[in-house]
Structure 1
Amino acid sequence: MNWKALIEDRNRFFWVLHTAGWFGFALVHYLGSLLHDLRDIFAVIIFLNAYAGWMITIPLRYVYRRAWNFSPLKIAMVVVISSYIVGVIWQVIKNFTYWTIYKHGYEPDFWLYYTQNSVWSFYIILSWSGLYFGIKYYQMLQKEKQNVLKANTIAHQAQLKMLRYQLNPHFLFNTLNAISTLILVEENNSANKMVTKLSEFLRYTLDKDPMKKVTLSSEIKVLELYLDIEKVRFEERLRVVIDIDEGCQNALVPSMIFQPIAENAIKYAIATQESGGTIAVTVSQFGDDLLLELADNGPGAQIKNGNLHRENGVGLANTRERLQALYQDRYSLVVANNTPSGVKVNIRIPFQKGS
C-alpha cells in the first residue's frame, strides 16, 4: 500500500481513519464484554452500536467543514452543541437497540428514558470531534510546512544559480581582456588557441546543471581546461601540480568550485611575478570528509579572520556563499599563508560518492 498517497488523499484518509476508529471502538467493547457473563447476542448489539456511531458522525464532518473558518469561540460552540445533539441521538439508538433485541422488546414507561446515559455518548462524540479537528489541523500544518519547504527550495535553487552564473561573466571578462591584449601585440596564434579553449570551457559550463554536484574527476578536467587557457597567456610562467588521492575521483563536489580560487591565484600570485609561479591542487579523504586544497607560491597576502584583503571580485565570497547554500554548517573554508610563501585555501565538505 502506498501510505504517502493515502495520507495525501484527504478524503480517502478520512474514511480509513473513521472506519478504523469505530472498528476499534467495537473491538474494545467486545473484549470488555468477555469479562461479563453476557449472551452471544450482545456482540450484535456492539456491532449495531458501532455502526450507528459510524453513520451518525458522518454529517458532523460536513458541519465542521462549514464552521472551519469561524472564530475559535464559535467553533467551540458548534463542536459542543453538535456533539451533544449527535450524542443524544446515538444514545437513543443504542438504548432502543439494546432494549428491543437484548431485552426482547422492552419499552420504558416514559420516552425520555431513551435518552438516559447520554452524557457518556456525548463524551464519545466529543472525543471524535476533537480527533477530527486535531488531525485536520495537523494536516494543515504539514501542508504549510511543505509549502514553506518548497518555497525555500525554490529560493535556494535560485540563489545557487545566481551564484554559479556570477562566475562565468567574471572569468569571461578577464579572458577576453587577455585575448584583446594578445591581438594588440600580434600574438595571433596564442589568441586563437585561447579562443578555442575558451569555447570548450564555456560549452562545458553551459552543459552542466548548476544545481547538481559533479564528480571530482569532472571538476579537475574543467580546472585543467581553465588553466590551459591561462597557460596560453603565461606559457612557462604558469606551472600546475595536481595530486588526487585514490578513491576520491568519484567524490561529488560543487561544480566550478576550484575556478574562482585558481583565478585569484593567477591574478595575485602568477601575474605579479616575473618568474610566474606554481598552483598546487591537493584532494584527499579524511574520515567522512573530503579535503580540497589549492595553494600558490606567490608573494602572499594579508589575511585577517580567514579573509583576503586583496580580493575585489566575487571569488572567495562567492565560494563561501555557495558552500553555505549547499552544505549549511557542514563545511569549512580556511584561508592561510602557504609555506614558504603564497596563499592556500582549504575546503572541507562531506564526502559523497558519485556514480
Structure 2
Amino acid sequence: MRLIIRNTLFVILMFLIVTTSAKDLKGETQEYLIIEGVGVKKIVGKNKWDSNITTVGGFVKINTTDLFKKSDINVTFYFTGIHKESNLRQAHQEIFLDVGQGCTLELFDQNTNRLLQRYKIQRIKSIPEIEIIPKNTKDSENGSAEEVSTDQYPNVILPSGTKKIELLRKSKNDTLEIQYRLINLKTKKNIYSGVLHTKETFILDSNTEYELRYTYTVQMQSTGVEYIKIRPQWYQSVIIYILVLLISSGLIFYIVTRQFRKKIKKSEAKQKKLEEAAIRLQSMLNPHFTFNALSTIQGLVNTERIDEANKYLEEFSILLRKSLSKSKNVFNSLDQELEMMRIYLNIESLRFDFKWEITVPADLPATDIEIPTLLLQPLIENAIKHGVSTLKQKGELRIACTKEEEDMIILIEDNGTWKDKTSVTGYGLALTRERIETINKMYTDQQIFLSLNINQSTQVILTFKNWINND
C-alpha cells in the first residue's frame, strides 16, 4: 500500500516539474539579447555560446530579455577597427556601424566569470542581386542577355531588336528597398529612376549604351553598376553606314557632276554660238574691205598708174592672204593685227598720199595680248575715207597703243574734218559695234568700249578693260 502511494506521489511531482518547465519555456526566451535592425540575419557559430549576426543597415538596436534581467551578468562591449575596448555594465540600446565595421558583446556570469554568450555583429557590404531580361519587338519573343565581364565593369550585351527590358529581383526573400537609376550614355541623361518593387520595365533605343546603377536604400554607399549595350541591327553596322555614305556621296557626286556638265555644255553651246556670230560679222567685213580695195585698183588702172596699181595689188594680195588665214579666228595677237594694219595703211597711202604712224610702248606685251581679228580695219578705213583722203599730203593718221594698269587703250586719230555725219552710224561702224557687243557677251570679265570724238580732228578710242595680265 505504501509503495503504491509513493509511486503516485512521484508521478504527481514529475508532472508538476514538467508543467512548470514547459510554462517557463513558453513564457520566457532562452536568449539574453535580441538584436534588431534592417537586414539582420543570425548565423549560428561553431560553439553554442557564439552568435554571429550580420546587418545591412547601419543602425542596430540591442534589447535585453527577461533572462538577461534575472541573471547576474557582466557585459564587455567593444568595436573592431579604430574603436577601443570598453567594459560596460549593460549593453547599448542602439549603435551605428559603418560598412565593414563590427562590434562584439560578451556576456559573463558575474559570480563565476563564466562566458554565457558572445554576440558578434558585423555590417556587411551588400549589393542587390538583380536580373535583366531583354524583350524584343514582340513581347512573346524574348531574347537572352549575354554577360561579358571586363576588368573595369560587367557588360550586359542584349540581342539586336531589343526594344525594352525587365528589371527583376533575383531573390524573392529579399525585402529590402532597392533604388535604381538608368542613364543613357549618349545623351548623359537620367531616363529612369525610382524604387524597384517586384519588377520594372524600361523602353530602350537600339544600338545605344546605358548605365544601370542600383543600391539598397539603407546602404547607399554600396552601388552595383551594369553597363547595358544593345547589339545594332544589320542596317546599323559600321559597314552599312560606310556603304550608305559611299553610295550617297557617289550619288551626290554624280548629280552635281551631271548638272555641272549640263552647265558646261550649255555654256559651250552659248560660247560657240557667240563665236559663230562674231566670225559671221567678221566675214561680212572682208567683202566690204575687198570691194573698196578692188575699186582703188580699178581707179589706178583707169588713170594709167600701172606701177602703182601693181604695187597696190601686191600689198593687197599679202593683206588678203593674212586676213583669210585669220578669218576663222575670233582673236588675233596685237602684234600680228598691227602688222596687217601697216600693210593696209601702205596700200591706202599709195592711193591718197597721206602720212601715218603706229606707236606701241615697250612695256606693252603686244605678242601676248589678243584682240578681235580685223576690229581696227573698219575704224581705220573710216578715218581714211572721211578724214585724210581729201587732204592728200597734208593728211595725217596716227594709231597709238597705251597701257593704264590692267587696261589697254588704242587711239585712232586723224587731222581731217568729217563733214559726212552719217559716217558715224555707217555700215562699217555698225558692224564693229555689233561685234564688240557680241564679244562682250562672250567674256564678261573682259569688256571693250568704243567712243568717238569728232571736232576739228577725229578720235576713235577703243578701251580694252582688264585685257592685260588677265588669265
- Normalised to the residue count of structure 1, the TM-score between the two structures is 0.57
Compute the displacement of 1:243 (Å): 2.1
Contact 1:301 1:310 in 2 (8 A): no
Counterpart of 1:192, as a letter, is N
CA distance in 2, matches of 1:161, 1:310: 21
CA distance in 2, matches of 1:37, 1:330: 71
Change in Cα spacing, 1:137 to 1:191, as seen in structure 2 (3 Å) is same
1:334 and 2:450 aligned: yes
Change in Cα spacing, 1:253 to 1:146, as seen in structure 2 (3 Å) is closer
Change in Cα spacing, 1:146 to 1:175, as seen in structure 2 (3 Å) is same
1:194 and 2:317 aligned: no
Aligned-partner SS, 1:193:
helix
CA distance in 2, matches of 1:196, 1:292: 28
Q: 1:227 aligns with which of 337, 345, 351?
A: 345
Q: Can you list the C-alpha shifts for 1:4-48, whole angstroms capped at 9, x where unaligned? A: xxxxxxxxxxxxxxxxxxxxxxxxxxxxxxxx979xxxxxxxxxx
Q: 1:211 aligns with which of 326, 329, 332?
A: 329
1:311 and 2:426 aligned: yes
Match of 2:358 in 1: 242
Contact 1:332 1:349 in 2 (8 A): yes
Match of 2:40 in 1: none
Q: Can you list the C-alpha shifts for 1:59-116, whole angstroms capped at 9, x where unaligned? A: xxxxxxxxxxxxxxxxxxxxxxxxxxxxxxxxxxx9xxxxxxxxxxxxxxxxxxxx97
Counterpart of 2:335, as a letter, is S
Change in Cα spacing, 1:244 to 1:260, as seen in structure 2 (3 Å) is same
Aligned-partner SS, 2:362:
coil
CA distance in 1, matches of 2:463, 2:379: 11
CA distance in 1, matches of 2:261, 2:301: 60
CA distance in 1, matches of 2:445, 2:420: 26
Match of 2:233 in 1: 117
Superposition pairs for residues 15-94 of structure 1, below 5 Å?
A: none
CA distance in 2, matches of 1:138, 1:217: 43
CA distance in 2, matches of 1:302, 1:180: 24
Match of 2:17 in 1: none
Q: Can you list the C-alpha shifts for 1:205-226, whole angstroms capped at 9, x where unaligned? A: 2233643643333222111100
Match of 1:109 in 2: none
Counterpart of 1:242, as a letter, is I
CA distance in 1, matches of 2:431, 2:394: 21
> Identity of aligned pairs, percent?
21
Match of 2:416 in 1: 298
Contact 1:288 1:350 in 2 (8 A): yes
CA distance in 1, matches of 2:233, 2:367: 72
Compute the displacement of 1:301 (Å): 6.7
- Higher share in helix: 1
Change in Cα spacing, 1:216 to 1:137, as seen in structure 2 (3 Å) is closer
CA distance in 2, matches of 1:276, 1:167: 29
Aligned-partner SS, 2:412:
strand
Give the structure with higher Rg (CA). Answer: 2
Q: 2:377 aligns with which of 259, 262, 277?
A: 259
Contact 2:406 2:466 in 1 (8 A): yes
Superposition pairs for residues 4-19 of structure 1, below 5 Å?
A: none
Q: Can you list the C-alpha shifts for 1:274-313, whole angstroms capped at 9, x where unaligned? A: 666221111111111111111122214798xxx9644233
Match of 1:324 in 2: 440
Q: 2:401 aligns with which of 279, 283, 295?
A: 283
Compute the displacement of 1:344 (Å): 2.5
Match of 2:41 in 1: none
Contact 1:284 1:291 in 2 (8 A): yes
Change in Cα spacing, 1:332 to 1:209, as seen in structure 2 (3 Å) is closer
CA distance in 2, matches of 1:324, 1:120: 56
Compute the displacement of 1:271 (Å): 2.8
Match of 1:9 in 2: none
Q: Give 5+ residue unaligned stretches, structure 1.
A: 1-35, 39-93, 95-114
Contact 2:386 2:420 in 1 (8 A): no
1:344 and 2:460 aligned: yes
CA distance in 2, matches of 1:346, 1:243: 15
Aligned-partner SS, 2:276:
helix
CA distance in 1, matches of 2:438, 2:355: 28
The 10-residue stretch of structure 1 (333-342 or 198-207) with the greater mean CA deviation from structure 2: 333-342
Aligned-partner SS, 1:245:
coil
Counterpart of 1:215, as a letter, is S
Contact 2:278 2:439 in 1 (8 A): no
- Higher share in strand: 2
Change in Cα spacing, 1:322 to 1:146, as seen in structure 2 (3 Å) is closer
CA distance in 1, matches of 2:330, 2:415: 32
Compute the displacement of 1:129 (Å): 5.4
Change in Cα spacing, 1:310 to 1:258, as seen in structure 2 (3 Å) is same
Contact 2:281 2:431 in 1 (8 A): no
Change in Cα spacing, 1:273 to 1:308, as seen in structure 2 (3 Å) is same
Counterpart of 1:344, as a letter, is V
Aligned-partner SS, 2:402:
strand
Contact 1:300 1:343 in 2 (8 A): no
Compute the displacement of 1:121 (Å): 5.8
Match of 2:254 in 1: 136
Compute the displacement of 1:317 (Å): 2.1
Q: 1:157 aligns with which of 275, 286, 292?
A: 275
